[in-house]
């Protein structure tokens, strides 16, 4: 079930009412309602999908108990490695089977062994990477002694399948989020109201910004060999705004929805396009995934404890794995490697933590010229990376970039971008003004009449551009 569907607008009030009618003191009933609601939410499109969530939940719940009860470090290690193998096996089968078999066939043909086998027809469960990483992260935290294994299966099942985060995250840390399912939850009207505001902002970004940018970006990328270089640059920028508005819009809806049910949800995006270098970008983009890879891949590989060159190799490995996490295509690996190479000079020069102050340009209304230049340069590099991310093949991405860099008067497509820019402008203006807040509609000291005027305008804009059939980009990951 997608957030931007009529079914969701009927489902959410029903789940909300049942959850709070169960009573703040009846935690077990609240968790049971969340489990049922989450399974209905996930099984809305295909009834088989909840079975995979249930299997993942039971497997990692049991494995964590096994780790805690193991009598030796060797036994704990066996359980932990078994969790990693299970997660990789599930992702490898459902997400990467055809990618690996095609790669094996190419390798065999390269040494003169002709092979041919049909592609497997495997259902790719929406959001599988998100809930597998969520449950695996829990088991790894227990293995490394960062938390105790829970004995409350219902609470863990509700955490693993929590419907706002099920399809595209955030990938909440079990250490931070699971305890909220183990304790009492009481309705907080102020938090719920702010959650509604955040959801409205997310719907605006999806319906008005992402959906307006998508047609032009798709046309330019599909016909890049006929587009003029300025149009190619425009297409890269449009896709940058599309994917940000689409994914951060989803995260805003998910985070706001979580607050309706009494949860303190983690922030997944912090105005990444205002970043002043690539290191800052990755502290602000898809924060939950970046944190997951740092804790469960980068640090176990040695992190930065063994010198800068070891830290560099670990960083490049994490970026490549992060790219592959996004899908079974070499374009994603190239995208990850590109960002790793951009990150490398900052790491080697010790400049990767220059911008950790949280708020870009401090409390000033406008950035300094040097800050503005850094932001524009970083955004341009990010757009180059998005070309690899969105292209069908690495060859297409290289061709796209080569054509964009040469022959500025060649070609041209009939592309209408007139409807894109007002939504992008509103999004950037609001997020710049509210860049120190948790989301764009955090009301603060706005007068009441101006708040309600803004809510009404955004709501009308969302209804005017509403597309029920449009899915979120990150559902495929």
d(CA 158, CA 150): 13
DSSP calls for 310-323: HHHHHHHHHHHHHH
Reference 263, options 30, 79, 433, 60; nearest CA is 30
DSSP calls for 37-89: HHHHHHHTT-TTHHHHHHHHHHHHHHHHHHHHH-SSHHHHHHHHHHHHHHHHH
Does residue 26 sit in helix, strand or coil?
coil
Does residue 451 sit in helix, strand or coil?
helix
Active site residue 326: yes
Residue 259, token pair as written in the block:
């607050």
Contacts of 397 (CB under 8 A, 6+ apart): 331, 334, 387, 388, 391
Reference 286, options 209, 207, 389, 192; nearest CA is 389
Reference 191, options 431, 435, 20, 9; nearest CA is 20
d(CA 32, CA 38): 10
**b/e for 76-106, b at 16 or more Cβ within 10 A?**
beebbeebeebbeebbeebbbbeeeeeeeee
- 201 touches 458 (CB < 8 A): yes
What is the enclosing helix (H) or strand (E) of 13? helix 6-21
Does residue 328 sit in helix, strand or coil?
coil
Count CB neighbours of 164 within 10 A: 28
Catalytic residue among 296, 326, 355, 439: 326
Q: Phi-psi category of 444—alpha, beta or left, where left has phi over 0 and alpha has psi -120 to 50?
A: left
Does residue 33 sit in helix, strand or coil?
helix
Reference 163, options 14, 328, 326; nearest CA is 14
d(CA 82, CA 97): 20
Reference 88, options 281, 229, 297; nearest CA is 297
Catalytic residue set: 326
């Amino acid at each position: 079930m997608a957030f931007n569907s009529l079914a969701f607008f009927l489902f959410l009030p029903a789940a909300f009412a049942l959850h709070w009618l169960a009573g703040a003191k009846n935690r077990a009933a609240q968790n049971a309602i969340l489990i049922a609601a989450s399974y209905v939410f996930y099984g809305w499109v295909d009834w088989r999908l909840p079975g995979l969530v249930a299997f993942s939940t039971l497997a990692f719940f049991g494995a964590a108990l096994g780790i805690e009860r193991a009598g030796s470090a060797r036994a704990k290690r066996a359980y932990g490695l078994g969790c990693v193998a299970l997660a990789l096996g599930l992702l490898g089968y459902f997400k990467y089977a055809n990618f690996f078999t095609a790669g094996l066939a190419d390798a065999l043909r390269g040494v003169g062994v002709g092979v041919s086998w049909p592609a497997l027809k495997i259902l790719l469960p929406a959001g599988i990477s998100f809930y597998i990483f969520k449950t695996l992260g829990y088991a790894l935290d227990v293995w490394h002694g960062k938390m105790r294994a829970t004995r409350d299966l219902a609470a863990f099942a509700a955490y693993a399948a929590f419907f706002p985060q099920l399809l595209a995250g955030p990938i909440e840390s079990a250490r931070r989020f699971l305890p909220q399912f183990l304790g009492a939850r009481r309705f907080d009207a102020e938090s719920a109201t702010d959650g509604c505001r955040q959801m409205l902002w997310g719907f605006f970004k999806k319906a008005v910004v992402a959906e307006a940018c998508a047609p032009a970006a798709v046309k330019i990328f599909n016909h890049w060999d006929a587009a003029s270089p300025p149009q190619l640059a425009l297409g890269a920028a449009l896709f940058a705004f599309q994917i940000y508005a689409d994914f951060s819009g989803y995260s805003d809806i998910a985070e706001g929805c979580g607050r309706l049910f009494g949860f303190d949800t983690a922030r997944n995006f912090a105005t990444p396009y205002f970043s002043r270098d690539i290191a800052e970008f990755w502290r602000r983009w898809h924060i939950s995934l970046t944190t997951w890879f740092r804790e469960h891949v980068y640090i176990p590989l040695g992190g930065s404890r063994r010198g800068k060159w070891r830290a560099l190799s670990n960083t490049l490995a994490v970026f490549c794995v992060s790219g592959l996490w996004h899908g079974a295509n070499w374009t994603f690996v190239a995208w990850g490697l590109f960002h790793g190479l951009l990150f490398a000079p900052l790491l080697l020069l010790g400049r990767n933590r220059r911008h950790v102050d949280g708020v870009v340009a401090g409390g000033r209304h406008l950035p300094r010229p040097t800050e503005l230049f850094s932001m524009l340069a970083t955004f341009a590099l990010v757009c180059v990376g998005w070309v690899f991310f969105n292209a069908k093949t690495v060859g297409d991405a290289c061709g796209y970039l080569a054509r964009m860099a040469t022959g500025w008067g060649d070609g041209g497509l009939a592309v209408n971008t007139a409807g894109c820019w007002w939504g992008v402008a509103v999004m950037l203006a609001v997020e710049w003004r509210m860049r120190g807040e948790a989301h764009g509609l955090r009301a603060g000291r706005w007068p009441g009449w101006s708040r309600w005027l803004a809510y009404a305008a955004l709501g009308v804009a969302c209804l005017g551009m509403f597309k029920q059939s449009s899915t979120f980009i990150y559902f495929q990951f």
